[in-house]
Amino acid sequence: MEGFAQSFAWMAWTWQTATFFATIILILIGMTVWETVSPSGERLGVLRITTTRGDRLFISLLGAAYIHLAWLGLIGPDVPLYWATLISFVYALGVFRWV
């Protein structure tokens, strides 16, 4: 097991990084189960493009990345990123509702 840990030492894993990737993996698993249980059809939202749940998840994740980058660039690292994460969740809810 020690050899395995050393092969990934260059990545500088922290608990925050591990939590981020674990969350993304859990979201993907959850979306896969949701799609299997209840297949989604395409729908036309406010962007006037047809989207599926997977498309809306991708738009949400991309938007969350931009929200966090804008937060760091405009507000700075002194104010916790929890607020940017909260804004990202609200944004994702809006995307899943109206896009």
**Confidence class for position 40, pLDDT limits 50, 70, 90:** confident
Q: What is the pTM of this model?
A: 0.79
**Confidence class for position 7, pLDDT limits 50, 70, 90:** low
Q: Which residue has the higher pLDDT, 73 or 13?
A: 73
**Confidence class for position 12, pLDDT limits 50, 70, 90:** confident
Within 8 A by CB and 6+ apart from 96, the residues are: 53, 56, 60
Asked if the model's pLDDT at residue 8 lies above 80, the reply is no
Tell me the domain boundaries of the chain: 14-98
What is the tens place of the pLDDT at every residue in 20-35?
Answer: 889 999 999 999 999 9
At residue 58, the pLDDT reads 94
